[in-house]
Amino acid sequence: MEDGPERRIRRAELRSTHTPAVLITRGRIDQQLGKIAGLAPLDERRKAIRLLIAVLAIVDERRRVRYCSDGCGHWWHSLSAVNPA
């Protein structure tokens, strides 16, 4: 399953020139995620959140295929997509 930076950027619906997209393609991901999470101003933070959600979604997909395809008891797989009021 291809889950490189380009896929993350596409999934977040960002342009490759947006600051979070540039950061995620440079250097080690564990170092870059901290920089992305700390971006300012507000517009850059919104882009960063979209990118970080895309990263988490791709990692979750990979984990489900690799570790949960035969069933599992992870509580987070049954979280509702709708936030109860």
Whole-prediction pTM: 0.68
pLDDT band at 3 (very low <50, low <70, confident <90, very high): low
The arithmetic mean of pLDDT across residues 2-24, rounded, is 81
* Contact assessment for residue 85 and residue 48, using Cβ atoms and an 8 Å cutoff: no
Amino acid 73 reads: G
Question: What element of type H or E holds 37?
Answer: helix 29-37
The arithmetic mean of pLDDT across residues 72-77, rounded, is 80
Sequence-ordered list of residues with C-beta below 8 angstroms from that of 20, at least 6 positions apart, any chain:
12, 14, 36, 39, 44, 47, 48, 50, 51
For 10-20, write each residue's pLDDT tens digit.
Answer: 888 888 888 88
Q: Hey, what are 13's tokens?
A: 């619906």
